[in-house]
Amino acid sequence: LHDGETLEYEFYYKPKALHVHPVLDRLVFLLRPDGVRLRWLTDGENEWTGLPLDNEVQEPDHRQGPSPLPLRAGGWNRIRLTLKDGMLRLSLNGTLIYERPMERENNRLFGFYHDKSREAVRVRRVLLRGDWPERLEAERIADWFVPADPQRYQALGPSRADLIGESLVPLVAYDVWRQARRLTPEQRYRFLFDWVVPGNDHRIIRLYGDFTPTDPPASAADPARAAVSAATVTAANAAATVGGRRVQVGGELVVPALELIATATELNRLGELNKAIQEAKTSSPSAQRSRLAMLALIRIAQGRLNEVNPLMKELYSLLVQVPKHAPADQRWPEFLVAREAVRHTETRSLALTLLDELVSDQINTQWPDVDPIWKRHARRLFSLAQQWAMSEDERPQPVPLSLGNWDVVTHVNAFTRGRGAPPAAWVLWPGQVDHLAGHREDYLYFKVPLRGDFEVTCELQSPGPFATHVMVAGLSVQPDSPWSGAPTRNFIVHRFRREIKKGLLEPPIPYIGRWYRCRVAVRDEACTFFVNDRQVYQTQLPREHDPWVALHAGASAYNTVRNVRITGRPTIPDELRLTALPDLTGWLAHYYDEKLDGNEPDWRKLGDEIIGRRREELAGTGRQSLLQYHRPMLEDGWIEYRFYYQPGEQMVHPALDRLVFLLEPDGVRLHWLTDGRYDRTGIAPNNAVDEPQCRRGPDRLPLQPDAWNQMRLTVVGDTVTLTLNGKRIYERPIEPTNQRMFGLFHYAGETMVRVRDVVYRGDWPRRLPPLDKQILATDPADRLQLDPARATAELTIDFRKGRPAAKQIDLQGKRHWYQFTSDGLQITVPGGKKPQSAHAVAGVGVKGDFELTIDFDRFRADKPVKGRLSGLVLLAKLDHRPVAQVAVQRRVIQTGQHVIAAGWGLLRPDGKWRYRGFPIGWTATSGRLRLVRMGSVVYHLFAETGSDSFRLIRRTVIGRDAPAVVRPEIIVWAGHPKGTTRVVIRRLTVRAEAILEQPPKPAAKAGGK
């Protein structure tokens, strides 16, 4: 209620039955028969003042008029509230009854108040009057936010900036970008310049961004709406032109500052922009980082790449000082610079270093306060940046939405789509597939539905919160394996990512590390999960269990699945009865965060029927409600069901992803699913459009009221057809951005839903493909063979034949640590107050692609103390940044667990080292360690003694600009002051494009630690 306004209404008063009281903010004016009293609205249990809920106070000085109040019992009463010059006046039935000044802290929000345990309410004829302008000037209509007093507004700019700060500004970056797109280049430049560059109303260079909605409704992809980027529209149109069955679009970065730079480039005004940024004052490290980043972005746009690296070095030195808990908007400068710089060879190395600091040292160290969507994009960029460091012919193949025996499927929701989470992304290497940080719950679905007897085997990476999983019959098992080196003692069972069981493993499984073998066997309708050949969980499946096999990765996971083999004698069903189970297994209601269980579920199974709850309190709100089958209609097929229709009471509409077909008596209308409270397209939640050209059959739908009706939704190619009670009623093309998830839709406030007999029949394969036709059923290590035509040089140092020539190997350290025996070179390193290490440095340089292998035996080591290493290392040093060392290790970790590990060292701009490790539990005391370089990538492998079958631990991208010549080195570390590390090295084998004789150099201490 604003000053100069009056609000009046009528209310029915019946003592002890019907009554209502006006309220402004927390101040209630209780209309008691003997006069007005005040009540302060409390916060219930959270009320800090100690006031009771029924507090009351009298203000005799403010009472006016007669006593008792002129209340009409058993009739309608009229009350008026008038606010003038801060004074509130209450009149009842034409008589002034109360007058008091309103505190400035009162926000004057008007409301109705009653004690719902004692009285009901009847109110009518609510009327608001005010001294409002009768018309608006043209300039105010053109800009609703033009200040009433522009000079005063400008004068208050600095104070306003200091008071409000920048904490809320990142939230409007998307709206600023949208508004800028509607302007001419000259207008856009001035508008964005004022918003980005410090001026009268802000003191910092604004480098904030956002992401466009993912897979937006087709109606939102109109460039005139500016809800999505031009790239999204182009991708969707291109897919439609070539007949693409499915594409994923959106989730693209939009940044007003980048738009400003692009516009300045278009107008040839980069010099002017650069001058303004150079002159910007930097009163804080945050402002300094924004200035450095903006200058770097301008230099990249100008092509002055040689000036970018010094700016990035300064950025890095400031980034490492940012607190880990700082919000995402404080890391935009480095994110944007790295994103642009990593695309250029001259600036890629430092850009990768910035990203490694952001992702590995900040995001991955439990950074809880950062926007989850931003984190996914940062992880995605880091993954892609490493691929850009490879030559084009080496890069893994991006997985299309359909790949051989597998299909990409994502279980999305309104939050991830509306906020612009990146579309799911997988890349294919020989024998394995990597999941890049993605959308929400990302899957690869096997194309063939399986029942009967079959088995799925594979290797999965990273048990724990970022794990990958195998899903069979909707079930997946996640072993708990802390990266700290503890054994696995627990496991969790999920059904479609909803936790249904926790279990204890007795005895525990020895330390797993970052890889484990997974096997899922289905025999006689019993489903058994194995981890490293140990049975973990078994359950009996219903006869018509969910038949889809899938590989799952969470949105934040950057993980790998490899060597996936599906074997056995399965039964492949011709059709699926989707309501045959006693519950809603296989159905998802998470698009709008609805419930499938608990009290008052939004969707439930009752007997043979699916029931959708009607929520009468939501009537008229356009609240959307959706239940989806988890596996999209990826091939030609149909879904048929029966639904009960009672006009105005019971109704359901078929949906295909965002496309909802509203079944109205006079024909089908089209509704686009919005993203609820996260929607930024501007489309109304109750939108509905006519497509007369798509209607088929009679003018009115053959709906049978108060009866069961039959609906069939058919997909053939890129066309969907609806058939109601045997009559075709609708046919239209399917947009490429439609992900083809079948759903049941209704407005939650308008109708309930009753559905039964849902049947799905698809043109899926009717045979299990043999292993040689399964695209993931190969061991990636089998492909890691050097080209024999290029790798013609070979050197073998067999230590069993005695001491080699000094020019071949330089044994650094104390002489008595080394002993040559008939079994090989025995190296024994005792512990000490400081870390002790022996270095056997090869006296050769290895050029180009290479393969380094050592055979070892009789490994023994005591567990190290904190900050030290105990074990054997095969190392290749690179004169290169950021990756300066790569290694494969046999060692003991601080918990006493024995592991094989990949290791790599990063040399930072400040001269400090960062070491990364990737361990796998392994207890054998003999074996073979191998490093293989193929182009831009080094592969870390190991094998059992005497075996030529190597197992891949990890691959490390070193970049196409990595040095051609590297030096191999064998290191033995003793990590316990009173312990010992001992190992026998049998043989060192080197294969390469060329082997160059070089005099050995003194071994550098690894990071000085």
Q: Do residues 223 and 711 lie in contact, with contact meaning Cβ atoms separated by under 8 Å? A: no
Rounded to an integer, what distance in angstroms lies between the CA atom of residue 469 and that of residue 490?
A: 16
What separation in angstroms does the CA of 244 have from each of 232, 402, 736, 738?
A: 15, 11, 6, 11
Q: What is the dihedral of CA 754, 733, 547, 414, to 10 degrees?
A: -70
What separation in angstroms does the CA of 143 have from each of 137, 147, 185, 299, 447?
A: 10, 9, 19, 35, 55
User: Going by C-beta distance under 8 Å and a sequence separation of 6 or more, which residues neighbour residue 274?
Assistant: 295, 298, 302
Q: Are strands 95-101 and 110-113 parallel, antiparallel or unpaired?
A: unpaired
Q: What is the pLDDT of residue 638?
A: 99
Q: What CATH number belongs to 587-658+676-762?
A: 2.60.120.560
Rounded to an integer, what distance in angstroms lies between the CA atom of residue 938 and that of residue 17?
A: 81
For every residue of 100-159, which 3-state class applies, written as one string? EECCCCCCCCEEEECCCCCCECCEEEEEEECCCCCCCCHHHHHCCCCCCCHHHHHHCHHH
HSE of 843 in the Cβ direction (CA atoms, 13 Å)? 13
How far, in whole angstroms, is CA 402 from its chain's centroid? Answer: 21
What separation in angstroms does the CA of 564 have from each of 133, 398, 455, 714, 807?
A: 72, 18, 10, 32, 46
Class of domain 6-129: mainly beta
Q: Is 376 helix (H, G, I), strand (E, B) or coil?
A: helix
Q: 107-110 long-range contacts, Cβ below 8 Å, gap at least 24?
A: 107/25, 108/1, 108/2, 108/24, 108/25, 108/83, 109/1, 109/24, 109/25, 110/1, 110/7, 110/22, 110/23, 110/24, 110/81
What pTM does this model have? 0.84
Output the six-digit token pair for 198: 């410090």
What would be the CATH architecture of the domain defined by 788-997? Sandwich (2.60)
Q: 277-285 long-range contacts, Cβ below 8 Å, gap at least 24?
A: 277/197, 277/205, 280/197, 280/198, 280/205, 281/198, 281/203, 283/203, 285/318, 285/321
Other CB atoms within a 10 A radius of the CB of residue 1007 amount to 13
Closest to 998 in 3D by CA, of 864, 851, 845: 845
What separation in angstroms does the CA of 440 have from each of 446, 477, 556, 678, 783?
A: 19, 19, 8, 15, 32
Q: What is the pLDDT of residue 241?
A: 41
User: Going by C-beta distance under 8 Å and a sequence separation of 6 or more, which residues neighbour residue 334?
Assistant: 289, 293, 315, 316, 319, 354, 357, 358
Low-confidence ranges of the chain (pLDDT < 70): 45, 220-244, 364-369, 463-465, 481-484, 964, 998-1009
User: Going by C-beta distance under 8 Å and a sequence separation of 6 or more, which residues neighbour residue 915?
Assistant: 903, 904, 905, 906, 1007
Instruction: Fill in the amino acid letter for 855.
Output: D
- List, edge to edge, every strand of the sheet that includes 475-479: 402-403, 406-411, 441-446, 549-554, 468-472, 475-479, 488-495, 498-509
Fold assignment, 165-212+252-388: 1.25.40
In the block, which residue shows the tokens 């009752």? 606
The vertex-111 CA angle with 107 and 115, nearest 5°, equals: 125
User: Going by C-beta distance under 8 Å and a sequence separation of 6 or more, which residues neighbour residue 555?
Assistant: 372, 376, 416, 421, 437, 438, 439, 440, 441, 442
Q: Do residues 447 and 548 lie in contact, with contact meaning Cβ atoms separated by under 8 Å? A: no
User: Going by C-beta distance under 8 Å and a sequence separation of 6 or more, which residues neighbour residue 388?
Assistant: 342, 343, 348
DSSP 739-808: ---EEEEEETTT-BEEEEEEEEEE---SSPPPGGG-TT-S-GGGG----TTT--EEEEEEGGG-PPPTTT
Q: 103: burial class by Cβ within 10 Å (0-12, 13-18, 19+)?
A: exposed
Exposure pattern of 332-358 as b/e (b: 16+ CB <10 Å)? Answer: bbbbbbbbbbbeeeebbbbbbbbbbbb
Which ranges of 542-632 would DSSP assign to H, the alpha helix? Answer: none
What separation in angstroms does the CA of 634 have from each of 101, 150, 433, 638, 937?
A: 67, 58, 20, 11, 35
Q: Are strands 793-798 and 753-762 parallel, antiparallel or unpaired?
A: unpaired
Strand-pairing partners, residue 89, are: 82, 99
Rounded to an integer, what distance in angstroms lies between the CA atom of residue 230 and that of residue 222?
A: 9
Rounded to an integer, what distance in angstroms lies between the CA atom of residue 778 and that of residue 431?
A: 5
Output the six-digit token pair for 898: 């024995």
Left (φ > 0), alpha (ψ -120 to 50) or beta: where does 717 sit?
left
In the block, which residue shows the tokens 């082997």? 995
What separation in angstroms does the CA of 136 have from each of 113, 130, 139, 143, 144?
A: 35, 15, 8, 11, 10
Calculate helix-pair angle for 348-358, 332-341, nearest 10 degrees: 150
Closest to 43 in 3D by CA, of 52, 34, 35: 52
Q: What is the pLDDT of residue 998?
A: 65
- In the chain, which residues fall in CATH 2.60.120.560? 398-572, 587-658+676-762
The answer to whether the bond into 765 is cis (omega within 30° of 0) is no
Exposure pattern of 735-756 as b/e (b: 16+ CB <10 Å)? Answer: bbbbbbbbbbbbbbbbbbbbbb
Q: What is the pLDDT of residue 1005?
A: 45
- In the chain, which residues fall in CATH 2.60.120.200? 6-129, 788-997
Q: What CATH number belongs to 398-572?
A: 2.60.120.560
Rounded to an integer, what distance in angstroms lies between the CA atom of residue 115 and that of residue 16?
A: 10
Closest to 319 in 3D by CA, of 340, 350, 277: 350
Q: What is the pLDDT of residue 1002?
A: 46
Rounded to an integer, what distance in angstroms lies between the CA atom of residue 353 and that of residue 936?
A: 17
Rounded to an integer, what distance in angstroms lies between the CA atom of residue 439 and that of residue 784?
A: 31
Rounded to an integer, what distance in angstroms lies between the CA atom of residue 501 and that of residue 499?
A: 6
- In the chain, which residues fall in CATH 1.25.40? 165-212+252-388
Q: 698: burial class by Cβ within 10 Å (0-12, 13-18, 19+)?
A: exposed
Q: 533: burial class by Cβ within 10 Å (0-12, 13-18, 19+)?
A: exposed
